Amino acid sequence: MQKKEWAEQIKQFQNGPSQELKKKALQTRLLSYGRGVFLRGLIEFSNYCKNNCYYCGIRAGNHHVCRYRLTQQDILNTCKKGHALGFRTFVLQSGEDPWFDDQKICSIISQIKEMYPDCAITLSIGEKSKETYRAFFAAGADRFLLRHETADATHYRKLHPDVMSLENRKKCLYDLREIGFQVGAGFMVGSPFQTIETLAADMKFLEELQPHMVGLGPFLPHKETPFKDFPPGSLNLTLTMLCLVRIALPNVLLPATTALATLSEQGRALGLACGANVIMPNLSPPEVRGSYSLYDNKKCTGNEAAEEIALLQKEVENDGFFLDFSRGDSRVH
């Protein structure tokens, strides 16, 4: 679709998806993935970050964060617990933390793979060289999440300091794709200075990249960032964007994000009704969860993971879905 047509669609549903749009998104998801909801165990292993993204609570310039790094042993223990609970995908996420050099990351990947060859490993650790991405893939990583954040270069510069560029972000995504990763792009809805045009550019970019996964949630302000006074993204527009992404990319893996669940009590259920088919419970040790705060009031129950799963199971069953504990690979080729 042309960018102009995307803009028209987004505008039409900017106050929320119609019943019809939701129905189409749900139908699309039922055809590609049925009623299963894939689970990913999220392990936030370091909140150190060298970047200074204006929206993000763990930006280098925030000196109020209590910084932590999990040890390799902590990470493996977390996987062990997750595996016992039935998780078959682990998402290793961190800020861009140079202390975890290529060798350390590769060693973590290969150890997890050795212990759990039946599991998929997703990395979400930011921009690296193609060579480094190759090394991660060779070590056994399967997937990589790197939200593009916005596909409009001018908007990108308003969200990030000059050392970061949309051009490099895109290059990373194409490199990852070429290497053979299942790749996840994505963006926040309602980030400061976003317009219908920049959202239309996001849709165009996703069509072009054809990612395996799309991470999409509302912007939520964090009090220790330059964007502290901007309003949160709209629930309804987020739901519209979920519907549009599901319909445009029928086989994509689409999480109902933590940010969406933080914005609204019904966020997760509404996300599932709009085509989302993935949930990423937090497996990080409870004592560090509070420190990985990208935005204020991030939903983290402090529940033991096992309780969390039982509750989730009930919740998704109420919504007409079931938890699917398989690896849940993308059907995008």
Query: What residue ranges bind ligand 5AD (CB under 6 A)?
Result: 55-56, 147, 149, 188, 217, 219-220, 222, 259, 294-295
Q: How many whole angstroms separate alpha carbon 39 and alpha carbon 221?
A: 27
Nearer to ligand 5AD, 79 or 294 (CB): 294
Q: Which residues are CB-contacts of 285 (< 8 A; sequence separation ≥ 6)? A: 70, 74, 78
Q: What is the smallest separation between the CB atom of 56 and ligand 5AD, expressed in angstroms?
A: 4
Sign of CA dihedral 121, 125, 126, 128: negative
Q: What is the smallest separation between the CB atom of 55 and ligand 5AD, expressed in angstroms?
A: 4
Closest by CA to 64, choosing from 277, 222, 279, is 222
In the chain, alpha helices (H): 3-12, 19-33, 72-85, 102-115, 130-139, 153-159, 166-179, 196-209, 235-248, 258-263, 267-273, 286-289, 305-318
Nearer to ligand 5AD, 170 or 222 (CB): 222
Q: What is the smallest separation between the CB atom of 104 and ligand 5AD, expressed in angstroms?
A: 20
Q: How far is CA 172 from CA 180, 245, 259, in A?
A: 13, 21, 24
Q: What is the smallest separation between the CB atom of 299 and ligand 5AD, expressed in angstroms?
A: 12
Q: What is the smallest separation between the CB atom of 2 and ligand 5AD, expressed in angstroms?
A: 26
Q: Which residues are CB-contacts of 25 (< 8 A; sequence separation ≥ 6)? A: 17, 242, 243, 244, 246, 247, 274, 275
46 is in an annotated binding site: no
Structure tokens at 305: 């993971």
53 is in an annotated binding site: yes
Q: What is the smallest separation between the CB atom of 217 and ligand 5AD, expressed in angstroms?
A: 6
149 is in an annotated binding site: yes
Nearer to ligand 5AD, 55 or 116 (CB): 55
Nearer to ligand 5AD, 81 or 223 (CB): 223
Nearer to ligand 5AD, 106 or 280 (CB): 280
Cβ–Cβ under 8 Å, residues 146 and 176: yes
Nearer to ligand 5AD, 108 or 261 (CB): 261
Q: How many whole angstroms separate alpha carbon 164 and alpha carbon 53?
A: 9
124 is in an annotated binding site: yes
Binding-site residue positions = 49, 53, 56, 124, 149, 169, 220
Binding-site residue positions for (3R)-3-methyl-D-ornithine = 124, 169
Binding-site residue positions for [4Fe-4S] cluster = 49, 53, 56
